[in-house]
Structure 1
């Protein structure tokens, strides 16, 4: 009935999961260090983007 493949491949899912974990960790650390919640979101978003590019380059 549903012959479509998965929405994301296993490699992409792992890369996005690692990116989300790094982004979450960076955001939490920023807020715990005394930053504002908005600064934590910005730091987490930047860390997510950078880590996705990094893991995309090293995971084969």
Structure 2
């Protein structure tokens, strides 16, 4: 079971990744590029929010 802090961090990371993937697709890039950009953003966002949210 996740605590509330971990759930918020993963939620924000997922939202950042989904947003990046959607914007990348809207910029007429192929879907593998969008998935890669979204996954990279999600990973970076989780690390970022883990440091920021105490």
Identify which of 4, 22, 26 aligns with 2:16. 22
What is the aligned-residue RMSD (CA, Å)? 0.4
TM-score, reference length from structure 1: 0.88
Query: Number of aligned pairs?
Result: 54
Structure 1 stretches of 5 or more lacking a match? 1-6
Shift of 1:32: 0.3
Structure 2 stretches of 5 or more lacking a match? none
Alignment-derived partner of residue 43 in structure 1: 37
TM-score, reference length from structure 2: 0.98
Tell me which of the two structures has the higher relative contact order, counting C-alpha pairs closer than 8 angstroms and 6 or more residues apart.
2
Runs of 4+ in 1 over 6 A off after TM superposition: none
Identify which of 5, 11, 29 aligns with 1:11. 5
